[in-house]
Structure 1
Amino acid sequence: MSTTDATPQFSITRTFDAPRELVWKAWTDEAELAQWLHPFGVSTDSVSFDIRVGGRYRYTMTNDETGEKFPTGGEYIEVAPVDRLVFTWGEPDAPVDVAPVITLTFVERGDHTELVFHMRGHEGKPGDGFIYDGWDEALTNFGRHLAGELKG
C-alpha cells in the first residue's frame, strides 16, 4: 500500500558553472549571502548566519521601492559540507516543527554544480508571484553572483 504525501512542496533545479565547493561557500558565507539572497527589486541586510546543526540564521529583505521590510530566518537541521544543507525558512523565530523546510542538494557535474532546491511546506509554481517566483529570482541572483556579475 502506498501513501501519498499531501504536504505542499516544490523543487527548482539549476546548474551553475562553478565547482561544488564555491557553490557551497556562496550558500554558507555571510558576506556572500548578503549579496544575492533576495528576489529582484529587494535588498538584503542585517545578515547573521550560524551554520551548524541547531544554529539559527536571520536576515532582513527590504523592498527597494517601498522600503517595506521582511524579516526572515530559521534553524539549520542538517549541515553536510558540499553535499547537503537543510534548514527551516520563514519567520525568524518560528518553531522548527511548523516552519517550511528547505533542502539544498549540491551535485557535482564535472566542473559544474547542479543545485536542487526543495521546499516542503509551501506549494509553488512558476508565476505564483511570491514563494516560488521569489526563490527562482534569488537563484538567478545566485548564478549572477557566482559569475561575478553582482557587486556587494
Structure 2
Amino acid sequence: MAASASASESIDARTVVITRELNAPARIVFEAMSKPEHVIKWFGPVGWPLTKCDMDFRVGGKFSFAMTGPNGVQNTPFGGTYREIVPNQRIVYDNGFEIEGAGRMVHTITLEEKGNKTLLTFSTLFDTVAMRNEHVGMGFVVGVNSGFDQLNDLVETMAKNAG
C-alpha cells in the first residue's frame, strides 16, 4: 500500500507548481485538455508519445494513459478520476500508476484568461515528500514542461484555425 504523508510533511513540501502562459484563449486550452483527440497530440515529454488515451471527461469519470518510450516499449499505464471540472477555468484529478500500492497525486489545473492568452497553473500534490522528490528526480518538471511546450504549439494552431 502507498505510504501516506506524516504530520510533519506539509502540503507545500509535497507540492510542485508549474506556471505557463499559453498563446490562446482559455476556452481553446480547455478544449485541448479535455478531448482525447487533442490530448494525444501534446501530453507528455517529446519522444514519449501518448499511445493509450482513454478518457471519460466528467466529474467521477476515469482516464487511463500510457506513453511509449524511444525504445518502442509502452510504460506502465497510469490514470485516475476527474474530481472537479469547471469549463474554461479548472480541472482537478487524481493520478497514479495502475499497479498495486502505487502512490497517488492530485493535479489541479487553473486557467486564467489574459486577453488572447491563458495563464495555466499546474499544481501537483504528492502523497509524500519522498514521492515528490522521486518524481522530480526522474524528470517530472522537465517532462511536464515539454508537454506544455507541445500544448502551446497545439493551442496556437487551434486559435488560428478558430478565427
The 1:139/1:131 distance shift into structure 2, 3 A limit, reads same
Letter of the structure 2 residue corresponding to residue 131 of structure 1 = F
Partner of 1:42: helix, strand, or coil?
coil
The answer to whether residue 156 in structure 2 is matched with residue 147 in structure 1 is yes
- Structure 1 residue 66: deviation in Å? 4.5
Contact 1:84 1:103 in 2 (8 A): yes
Query: Is the aligned partner of 1:79 residue 2:85?
Result: yes
**Count of aligned residue pairs for this structure pair:** 144
Please, which runs of 5 or more residues in structure 2 have no aligned partner?
Answer: 1-9, 159-163
Equivalent position of 2:42 in the other structure: 36
The answer (yes or no) to whether the contact 2:89–2:112 under 8 Å persists in 1 is yes
Q: Does residue 100 of structure 1 match 2:105?
A: yes
State the one-letter code of the partner of 1:144.
Answer: D
Contact 1:62 1:68 in 2 (8 A): yes
Q: Is the 8 A contact 2:11 2:125 kept in 1?
A: no
Question: Which letter does structure 1 place at the counterpart of 2:105?
Answer: P
Q: Tell me what 1:136 maps to.
A: 145
The TM-score normalised by the length of structure 2 is 0.78
Provide Cα deviations, 1:55-82, integer angstroms capped at 9, x if missing partner: 1001110002352423121111101111
2:6 maps to what in 1?
none
What one-letter code is carried by the residue in structure 1 that aligns with 2:113? E
Given that residues 62 and 70 in structure 1 are in contact (C-alpha distance below 8 angstroms), is that contact kept between their aligned partners in structure 2? no
| Bigger mean CA deviation after superposition, 107-116 or 67-76 | 67-76
More helix by share: 2
Whether contact under 8 Å (1:72, 1:91) holds in the other structure is yes
User: Is the CA contact 1:74–1:94 (under 8 Å) kept in the aligned structure 2?
Assistant: no
The equivalent residue for 2:16 is 10
Q: Which residue of the other structure, out of 29, 54, 70, is the alignment partner of 1:64?
A: 70
Q: TM-score, normalised by structure 1?
A: 0.83
- Mapped to 2, the partners of 1:68 and 1:31 lie a distance apart of 19
Alignment partner, residue 115 of structure 1: 120
1:19 — aligned with what?
A: 25
The one-letter code of the counterpart of 1:21 is R
CA distance 1:109–1:70, change in 2 (3 Å): same
Cα offset, 1:92, TM superposition: 3.7
Gaps of 5+ in 1: none
Deviations 1:16-57 (A, max 9, x none): 110110000000011000111111211112211111111100
